[in-house]
Structure 1
Amino acid sequence: MSGTVRSKHARKGTGQGPGPEGGGATPPAPGRPAVRARRPAGKRFLESRAADWVLPLILVAIIVAVWQAVCSSGAVEEYVLPAPGDVVRKMFGDFGTFADQSVPTIVAIFAGFALAVVVALPIAVAMVYSGVARRAIYPLLIIAQVVPKVAIAPLFIIWFGFGQLPKVLMVALICFFPVVIDSLVGFRAARPESLMLVRSMGASRWQAFWKIRWPWALPSIFAGVKVGITLAVVGAVVAEFVGADKGLGVLLITARGDMDSLTVFASIAWLTVIGFVLFVLVEVLERVLLPGKRGGRSHEASGSL
């Protein structure tokens, strides 16, 4: 009898008694909420917004460290691959030169990008409301996109001469396609039942556009704008390669002709910084105009919802 009692107490002490999954766990009392298991710190960090910045910085630091190690080992000549430290010193050592050459490039980027957005949005609206316009314009958009822009750039020089105008047009041409396509997708994604509801309440077509289609399309429009702003840097450099008298592209191609790899890498670094800053500005504008659109991003990406 005493052995039986001791065996029962032993089973209770070791958690081998009856319970969920045979573990002897005591179920929560009625009316008391169950305590959720705390997620590991590493998973919480990966789901935080800080990881969006820390992880890329770590990867960049690794790449730069490997780059510096390769250059310091003497495995490659300096004129082939300059060390990252030398590139940074060149960027800020000749800050006045690079800043002066950056001004016409940045002006062309902003002007061409603004022109692309101003033209793309009305065309996207026209294609949404008119099937004839969509069938007539869409094939031309595809043709304009597949034509190599480098082949068109010399024509702009012939037609408009040297200066800012051909650069602005080249930037607009390269930025135009992603903006108009994403805008078209966004405008067409509005829910038909929402449109029918506001129309049944007496709203005009334009009122339905501003109340339903425009807010619904803004995330897609910003997606196209973010792609376009990065391509704008490419368009400005392509135009300056073909024909310009001033700009970072001109500085880059001149340094390439002089076999000045250090200036080439410094010019590329300046262009990278400009493109990154412009992308971040668009990202900030999106978060200001569309608050809450990115909430739950981390949970959805990790599959925890």
Structure 2
Amino acid sequence: MATGDRYVADVSSFRVPSEVALPAAVFISILVFWELIVAAMAIPEFILPPPSAIAGAFVENYGTIAEQLLITLQAFGLGATLSIVSGYLMAVAMAQSSVLETTFYPYVIIARSIPVVALLPLFIVWFGFGFPTIVVISYLISFFAMVVNALSGFKSTDDELIEMLESFSANRREVFVHVYLYASLPAVFAGIKICVILSFTGVIVGEFLAGSQGIGHLILTYNNHMATAEMFAGIAAVSITQLVLFGSVTALERHIVDWQYGNGGA
């Protein structure tokens, strides 16, 4: 009995966080309503398949979806890494040099306002169809967001703390490591999260318009063949992947920037 009582106590003490439970409840409600409304209105599956048909299509085509998703992740990994690293380094350079910031920051803002997709025909001429053009789109669509966010983080540093360190003869490297680097982490991680979403979206768009493989091209192929359930299955795979990527960065942020959440990294 003692063991059973302890088991009940352990179960009763378990709580699902509200930030997980509430969205999950809404999502399940939407799926149930979707399933019921499609059945009640007898909507043809090629127009709007029910969630059960989408789940079946996902299971049936899992191998193909996973294979094409891996191709997409390769382009995403390269594009996102390049945009995050180069965007961060450019922000560091502009934060350390007012001349560089004054000279190049207006161009960053202008370039950020240009729709990257509008430049796709030019990229195809330069790089051809396929992987290189897709990576370029993924890179450019996220690079400027990283620059802007990281630079805003560097600009939010405490001037009094910098002056105090300089009064103790701290050099520029020490000031950067102990003040700029740490104080900018929340803004930098915000930029990384934006880059992850934009870069992955850029790959999908690139595969739609200039690709011959990848999950974006697979979704387009399903659409051309009126395989609507399979198309929704591909879209679901994209959504799940983006949630996992975003959640991974958020978890890393909570671990590194523990002071931002006031929980000691727990």
Distance 1:49 1:155 in 2: 50
Contact 1:109 / 1:233 at 8 angstroms: preserved in 2? yes
Aligned letter for 2:194? V
Q: Indicate the SS of the match to 2:144.
A: helix
Structure with more contact order per residue of length (Cα contacts < 8 Å, sep ≥ 6): 2
Among 172, 182, 189, the alignment partner of 2:149 is 182
Q: Which string of whole-angstrom CA distances, capped at 9 and with x for unpartnered residues, describes residues 244-278 of structure 1?
A: 11101111111112222112111111100111110
In angstroms, what is the RMSD of aligned CA positions? Answer: 1.5
Contact 2:150 / 2:184 at 8 angstroms: preserved in 1? yes
Residue equivalent to 1:247: 214
Contact 2:117 / 2:137 at 8 angstroms: preserved in 1? no
1:125 counterpart = 2:92: yes
Among 218, 232, 242, the alignment partner of 1:265 is 232
Note the C-alpha offset of 1:75.
Answer: 4.5
Distance 1:172 1:145 in 2: 12
1:210 counterpart = 2:177: yes
Residue equivalent to 1:106: 73
Residue equivalent to 2:64: 97
Distance 1:196 1:118 in 2: 29
Distance 1:49 1:175 in 2: 34
Alignment of 1:111-190 (within 5 A): 111-190=78-157
What's the TM-score once normalised by structure 1's chain length?
Answer: 0.78
Contact 1:226 / 1:282 at 8 angstroms: preserved in 2? yes
Tell me the matched-pair count.
249
Q: Indicate the SS of the match to 1:293.
A: helix
Distance 2:106 2:169 in 1: 36
Q: Indicate the SS of the match to 1:73.
A: helix
Q: Looking at CA atoms only, which structure, 1 or 2, has the larger radius of gyration?
A: 1
Residue identity over aligned pairs, in percent, reads 33
- Between structures 1 and 2, the one with greater helix share: 2
Among 229, 236, 240, the alignment partner of 2:203 is 236
Distance 1:268 1:68 in 2: 18
Structure 2: gaps spanning 5 or more residues: 1-14
Residue equivalent to 1:35: none
Note the C-alpha offset of 1:209.
Answer: 0.4
Runs of 4+ in 1 over 6 A off after TM superposition: none
Note the C-alpha offset of 1:226.
Answer: 0.9
Distance 2:231 2:116 in 1: 23
Distance 2:29 2:228 in 1: 22
Residue equivalent to 2:40: 73
Contact 1:154 / 1:243 at 8 angstroms: preserved in 2? no
Distance 2:187 2:16 in 1: 22
Structure 1: gaps spanning 5 or more residues: 1-47, 297-305
Contact 2:61 / 2:230 at 8 angstroms: preserved in 1? no
